[in-house]
Amino acid sequence: MRHECSIRLIDLGDWVYDTATGWDDLPIYRLASPRDLFASDEIIGKFREVGLTTTRRRPDSGVIESWVTRENNTTVISAPLIQMAIATAVSEDSREYQSDVEVNALGGTTSERQFISFHSRIKSDIPSDSRTESGTPVIGPGGKVSIFRTSTSTVVDITVRKRVGKLPSRWRRFQNIYRTYLREFAPWKKQIEVEPMLGYFELSKYEPQLFLRLAFVFIFSMTQNEDNANEDNAVSWQTIRVEPATESPEIPRSAGLGQWLSSGGTQ
């Protein structure tokens, strides 16, 4: 859920305005209920073909996970396994999936550990939406395909939820998104850095989610350094806050954010 750049706290308002201004009102998506989804025999069979013996849908979130556990694990992250995982993700929800690393950079079959993760983006169906021509990123703990291998197991997590409908939404007032943090962190305004993100916020594989909505994620950090080492409150810390970017009269503002909804920004 990390972003590659940081900004100063005092610049947060400008970042929100610059990032969101010009975007159309992107919809909030309804997601399929876990009780309406089942892992089909076809999906289970395909994962068995690439060496994974157990495949299921989690009863809490409905996402697919597949794994094999054995004392001497020989199931590596191969091209067929990656292709199978991405094809399954696309069949779950039509998105674009892209890895953070070159697939060829993975270790060979003798590597003790292998890991690869594919993040997803959702293409806009609004013709005039020039700001999101490349798709809106899906951020948060979910919205990705992850494959992890050790000497005793190989695990595939397809934390991608199926969209089944959408609700129109409108942007919240930008000031209501960020101003509560300017007040909360005012004592450290010269020391705090913020890693800001905007995208559709998807929960982890352990959490139920019925709505996928656009949200801001702010990672606030303060690191002790030479400038503040002698201050009484100069303790290194970090906190993550999530704010819905848009709202709809049909659902509560907290819908789709699980336990991540920030306490601030109540308007």
- Whether 1 is covered by a domain: the verdict is no
What's the total number of domains in the chain?
Answer: 2
Co-location of 155 and 175 in the same domain: no
CA distance 203 to 209: 7
Domain hosting 228: range is: 7-28+166-260
Co-location of 85 and 12 in the same domain: no
* pLDDT at site 137: 95
CA distance 110 to 233: 48
Domain final residue pick, 126, 160, 194: 160
Question: Where do we find the tokens 């309804």?
Answer: 30
Sign of the Cα torsion 189, 190, 192, 197 reads positive
Co-location of 121 and 233 in the same domain: no
Co-location of 124 and 217 in the same domain: no
Co-location of 176 and 100 in the same domain: no
From first to last of the 267 residues of the chain, give the pLDDT tens digit.
445 589 999 999 999 999 998 787 899 999 999 988 887 888 888 999 999 999 999 999 999 999 999 999 989 899 999 999 999 999 999 999 999 776 554 555 456 788 999 999 998 766 555 555 678 999 999 999 999 999 999 999 999 999 999 999 999 999 999 999 999 999 998 899 999 999 999 999 999 999 999 999 999 999 766 555 555 555 688 999 999 999 999 999 999 999 998 754 444
Residue type, 9: L
Domain final residue pick, 160, 192, 227: 160
* pLDDT at site 54: 95
* pLDDT at site 127: 56
- Reference 239, options 198, 188, 203; nearest CA is 188
Residue type, 72: N
CA distance 212 to 241: 17
- Whether 140 is covered by a domain: the verdict is yes
Co-location of 236 and 206 in the same domain: yes
* pLDDT at site 102: 60
Co-location of 83 and 101 in the same domain: yes
Q: What per-residue string of b and e applies to 157-179 under the rule 16 or more CB within 10 Å gives b? A: bbbbbbbeeebebebbebeebbb
* pLDDT at site 267: 45
Answer whether 0.85 is exceeded by the pTM.
yes
CB 163 within 8 A of CB 93: yes
CA distance 2 to 117: 14
- Reference 185, options 5, 29, 13; nearest CA is 13
- Whether 122 is covered by a domain: the verdict is yes
Co-location of 181 and 249 in the same domain: yes
* pLDDT at site 265: 43
| Interhelix angle 12-20/174-184, nearest 10 degrees | 160
- Whether 265 is covered by a domain: the verdict is no
Co-location of 114 and 214 in the same domain: no
* pLDDT at site 266: 42
